[in-house]
Amino acid sequence: MEAIWTEKYRPQKLREMVGQKQTVERLEALVKSGSVPHMLFSGPAGVGKTTAAVCIARELFKDGWQDRFLETNASDERGIDVVRVKIKNFARTLAVGGSHKIIFLDECDALTRDAQNALRRTMEKYASTCRFILSCNYINKIIDPLQSRCATFRFLPLKDEEIRRYLEKIVSEEGVKTEKDALEAIIEVSEGDLRAATNVLQTAAAFGRKVSGKEIYSVARSLFPEEAREILVLAAVEGDFQAAREKLIKVVNSGGLGGEEVVKAFHREIFSIDELPAQAKMALVRALSEYAFRMMEGASERIQLDAFLAEACALSPKSAQRTERGT
> What local confidence, expressed as pLDDT, does residue 41 receive?
95
Q: What is the pLDDT of residue 304?
A: 94
Q: Pick from 261, 68, 253, 48: which is nearest to 155 by CA?
A: 48
CATH 3.40.50.300 segments of the chain: 5-154
Please give the pLDDT value at position 13: 92
> Does domain 5-154 bear CATH number 3.40.50.300?
yes
| Neighbour count for residue 314 (Cβ, 10 Å) | 15
For 163, counting Cβ atoms within 10 Å of its Cβ (0-12 exposed, 13-18 middle, 19+ buried), the class is buried
The one-digit pLDDT tens for each residue of the chain (327 residues) are 578 899 999 999 999 999 899 999 999 999 998 888 999 999 999 999 999 999 999 998 888 888 888 888 776 665 566 666 777 777 777 666 667 888 898 888 888 888 888 888 888 888 888 899 999 999 999 999 999 999 999 999 899 999 999 999 999 999 989 988 899 999 988 888 999 999 999 998 988 788 888 888 888 877 888 899 999 999 999 999 999 999 999 988 887 788 888 998 899 899 989 888 999 999 999 999 999 999 989 999 999 999 999 999 998 877 656 555 555
d(CA 164, CA 196): 13
Position 244 scores a pLDDT of: 93
Are β-strands 39-42 and 130-136 bridged in parallel, bridged antiparallel, or unpaired?
parallel
- Residue 320 has a pLDDT of 55
Q: SS3 of 52, please?
A: helix
- Burial (CB count within 10 angstroms: exposed 0-12, middle 13-18, buried 19+), residue 305: buried
Looking at the chain, which residues constitute the CATH 1.20.272.10 domain(s)? 225-320
CATH 3.30.1370.140 fits 225-320, yes or no: no
From the CB of residue 285, how many other CB atoms can be counted at a distance below 10 Å? 14
Nearest by Cα to 61 from 50, 69, 53, 52: 69
* Residues 132, 110, 119: CA angle, nearest 5 degrees: 35
Spatial contact of 51 and 166, defined as CB atoms under 8 Å apart: no
E strands along the chain, which residues?
Answer: 39-42, 69-73, 101-106, 130-136, 151-154
Helix (H, G, I), strand (E, B) or coil at 127: coil
Per-residue model confidence (pLDDT) at position 141: 92
Angle 7-8-13 (CA atoms, 0-180°, nearest 5)?
Answer: 80
Q: What would the DSSP string read from start to end of 207-268?
A: T-S-B-HHHHHHHTT---HHHHHHHHIIIIIT--HHHHHHHHHHHHHHHT--HHHHHHHHHH
Query: Of 310, 307, 229, which Cα lies nearest the Cα of 267?
Result: 229
Distance separating alpha carbons of residues 295 and 300, to the nearest angstrom: 7
Range list for CATH 1.10.8.60 in the chain? 160-219
For residue 163, give the H/E element and its range: helix 160-174
CATH assignment, 160-219? 1.10.8.60
| pTM higher than 0.85 | no
Task: Count the residues in the chain.
Answer: 327
C-alpha Rg value of the chain to the nearest Å? 24
Do the Cβ atoms of 162 and 19 come closer than 8 Å? yes
Measure the CA–CA gap between 321 and 127, rounded to whole angstroms.
70
Nearest by Cα to 40 from 109, 90, 88, 100: 109
| Buried residues in 212-234 as b, exposed as e (16+ CB within 10 A) | bbebbbbbbebbbbebbbbbbbb
